[in-house]
Amino acid sequence: MTERAPVTLPRLAEMKEAGEPIVMVTAYDYPSARVAEEAGVDLALVGDTAAMVVLGYPGTEAVSMDEMIMLGKAVRRGVKTPLMVGDMPMGSYESSNELAVQSAQRLVKETGCQVVKLEAGGIAVERARAIVRSGIPVMGHVGLTPQSINTIGSFRAQGREESDWGRIEDDALAVAQAGAFSMVIEAVAEPLARKLTGTVPIPTIGIGASVACDGQVLVLEDMLGLSPRVPKFVKRYGDLGPGIEKAIASYAAEVRARSFPGPEHTYPMKGKKP
Ligand code: KIV
């Protein structure tokens, strides 16, 4: 494979301009980061979905900054080419611009991510603007914003009634005006996602927001069949769960039958057969 140049913000803007689809996937650890690198994705997101997918919490609101930093450091060791996006966990940016900038700086300095993402609507637009002004690029996130689950009540798709469009459009425009370089659009009806993508001057990355977006993102474990949750918008590109379970069961059976380790896995004394 020819060496790929690291993905940059200007390259992503160019891709939108050229109508070239942008590929983002989540990564929460070193092995998944290496796989994302080898697969040639454009962006690797250390998403706060890690809370549920790899840490076993019931929702994204539980994950802490320290946990996100530990995961991000592992991802950094595995990715060279994709732009690495660090997700700002709930509680790390809402209360003031100062906190938002400090948290973004911490993510960048301690994990090595190049950009941060935050669920930006309402007051969070101001936080996004402050982070951009501090010199850290920001990816916004509009539509369904899982950190607000206690306000919105359920993980239902947004913008399925035209009366909802104004609020989501306002958020998207405000995020772009705040200086974000890109935004995730999550679980939004297709006509609205198309309208937003045509309106905002920055690349939109959809998840459950149709093919009309400039790019797509999926949670790696969801697409590989490794997580029990399967939202409507997930396509399973693999079903690795049963294969892994079968491999572990075979290992357990061989250990119990004392057929593993065999001679080929055993160190004999020098000059002797095992
Ligand atoms: O945390 C995450 O994985 C995300 C994606 C769903 C975009 O924000």
Q: What is the pLDDT of residue 61?
A: 93
Mutate-to-test residue for ligand 1 from 46, 117, 138, 234, highest number of ligand atoms within 8 A of CB: 117
CATH code of 86's domain: 3.20.20.60
Q: Is residue 1 part of a domain?
A: no
Q: Is the CB of 32 under 6 A from ligand 1?
A: no
The structure tokens listed for 136 are 């850290």
Q: Are residues 265 and 160 in the same domain?
A: no
Same domain, 198 and 66: yes
Q: Which atom of ligand 1 is nearest to the CA of 119?
A: 8
Describe the crossing of helices 97-111 and 124-133 by its angle, rounded to 10 degrees: 50
Check residue 2 and give its pLDDT.
67
Q: Are residues 69 and 151 in the same domain?
A: yes
201 contacts: CB under 8 Å, gap ≥ 6: 176
Same domain, 17 and 104: yes
34 exposure class (CB count in 10 Å sphere: 0-12, 13-18, 19+): middle
Q: Are residues 18 and 139 in the same domain?
A: yes
Local structure of residue 163 (DSSP, 8 states):
G
**271 and 200 belong to one structural domain:** no
Paired tokens of 235: 């396509």
Residue 153 has a pLDDT of 83
- Tell whether 209 is covered by a domain: yes
In a domain, 4, yes or no: no
Owning domain of residue 175: 9-238
- For residue 53, which atom of ligand 1 is closest to its CA? 3
Tokens of 154: 């359920």
Q: Name the strand (E) or helix (H) holding 50.
A: helix 50-53
Q: For the chain, list residues with pLDDT below 70.
A: 1-2, 274
Record the pTM: 0.95
Q: Residue whose CA is closest, atom 1 of ligand 1?
A: 47
Structural domain count, the chain? 2
Q: Which atom of ligand 1 is nearest to the CA of 87?
A: 1
- Reported as a single tens digit per residue, the pLDDT across 249-271 is 999 999 999 999 999 999 999 98
Same domain, 232 and 265: no
pLDDT at 230 (0 to 100): 82
Q: Assess whether the C-beta atom of 219 lies below 6 angstroms from ligand 1.
A: yes
In a domain, 124, yes or no: yes
